[in-house]
């Protein structure tokens, strides 16, 4: 067989192997989600990028208390935010986390779950939306804020630093019990959230 014919015949399978092997490498080194990237890892892990990989913001308010910011999964928001957050969720490199962090810093937030303390400045950001069931969150002692519904105030209005974490759902079926937990797979350093 001529060289040209051989190239035409095997070019596509060769390209497929290169992309798939690279996807496996990136999933090991940079935590690229198994479902994406052309490696045919869909339906092999439970960390579905939209439903079971969590992007979570964290920050500190003016008093230095920790605030956690729960990012919406699969919520229609502004396209560029959605895309950046999707990037960070599916491929959480420092570059993607930093880009989404910048977006978070400038995002408008509408807290749905009130902080516990009376004097917390975030309490003033209440927009009238209330959680249907806060008992579970109250028990954890962590204050959550849901972002971004677009009609609240800027994150930088009440947080001094913001950072970003990506968590992956893990499942284990063992001795008649199912164990479910989240594992931290990537985190970014907190950045100054002030407007300047």
Partner 1 sequence: MAFFNWIKAKLERCPPLVDRDLILRLTCLFLVLHAEKLYFPPVAKGIFPVFAIVVCGLMLAFPILLRSRVPWIVLSLGCWTTILTNWNLIDNHLYLIGYWVLACTLSNFSANPVEILRTNGRFIVGLSFSFAVLWKFMSHAWLDGSFFYMISLFDQRIGQLVAAIVDDPPVWSSTLVQLKAFTMIPDLGLKMEIPAMHSLVTLSRIACYGGLTLEILVALLFLLGRPRFLLKLRDYFLVAFCLGAYMLAPVYGFAYVFSIMGLAQCGNSRTWTRLMYVLLFCFAIVMSHVATAGVGRLID
148 binds partner 1 (CB under 8 A): no
Q: Which listed range, 5-13, 103-111, 154-162, 185-193, lies at the site for partner 1 (CB under 8 A)?
A: 5-13
Given a contact cutoff of 8 angstroms between Cβ atoms, the answer to whether 184 and 92 are in contact is: no
Query: Which residues does 71 contact at the CB level (< 8 Å), separation at least 6?
Result: 54, 55, 56, 57, 85, 104, 147
Residue of the chain from 142, 160, 161, 187 that contacts partner 1 (CB under 8 A): 142
CB of 155 to partner 1, least distance (A): 20
Write down the residue that tokens 């009609």 correspond to: 151
Give the strand pairing for 108-109 and 66-70: unpaired
Q: Locate 29 and state its tokens.
A: 């080194």
Given a contact cutoff of 8 angstroms between Cβ atoms, the answer to whether 68 and 162 are in contact is: no
90-129 footprint of partner 1 as x/- string (CB under 8 A): xx--------------------------------------
Given a contact cutoff of 8 angstroms between Cβ atoms, the answer to whether 166 and 55 are in contact is: yes
CB of 27 to partner 1, least distance (A): 9
CB of 195 to partner 1, least distance (A): 28
Give the strand pairing for 53-61 and 191-192: unpaired
42 binds partner 1 (CB under 8 A): yes
Q: Which listed range, 18-26, 116-124, 151-159, 187-195, lies at the site for partner 1 (CB under 8 A)?
A: 18-26
Separation between Cα atoms, residue 139 and residue 26, nearest integer Å: 38
169 binds partner 1 (CB under 8 A): yes
Burial of 147 (0-12, 13-18, 19+ CB in 10 A): buried
Binding site for partner 1 (CB under 8 A): 5, 8-13, 15-17, 19-20, 24, 32-46, 48, 50-52, 54, 56, 70, 79, 82-83, 86-87, 90-91, 136-137, 140, 142, 144, 167, 169-174, 176-182, 184
């Amino acid at each position: 067989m001529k060289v040209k014919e051989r190239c035409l015949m095997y070019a596509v399978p060769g390209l497929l192997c290169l992309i798939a092997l690279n996807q496996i490498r990136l999933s090991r080194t940079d935590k690229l989600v198994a479902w994406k990237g052309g490696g045919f890892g869909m339906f092999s892990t439970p960390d579905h990028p939209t439903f079971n990989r969590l992007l979570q913001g964290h920050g500190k308010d003016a008093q230095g208390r920790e605030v956690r910011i729960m990012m919406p999964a699969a919520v229609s928001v502004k396209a560029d935010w959605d895309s950046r957050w999707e990037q960070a969720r599916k491929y959480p490199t420092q570059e993607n986390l930093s880009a989404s962090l910048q977006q978070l810093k400038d995002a408008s937030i509408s807290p749905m779950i009130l902080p516990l303390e009376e004097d917390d400045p975030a309490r003033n950001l209440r927009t009238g939306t209330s959680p249907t069931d806060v008992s579970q969150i109250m028990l954890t002692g962590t204050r959550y804020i849901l972002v971004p519904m677009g009609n609240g105030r800027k994150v930088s209005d009440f947080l001094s630093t913001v950072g970003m974490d990506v968590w992956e759902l893990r499942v284990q079926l063992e001795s008649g019990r199912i164990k479910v937990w989240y594992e931290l797979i990537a985190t970014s350093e907190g950045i100054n959230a002030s407007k300047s």
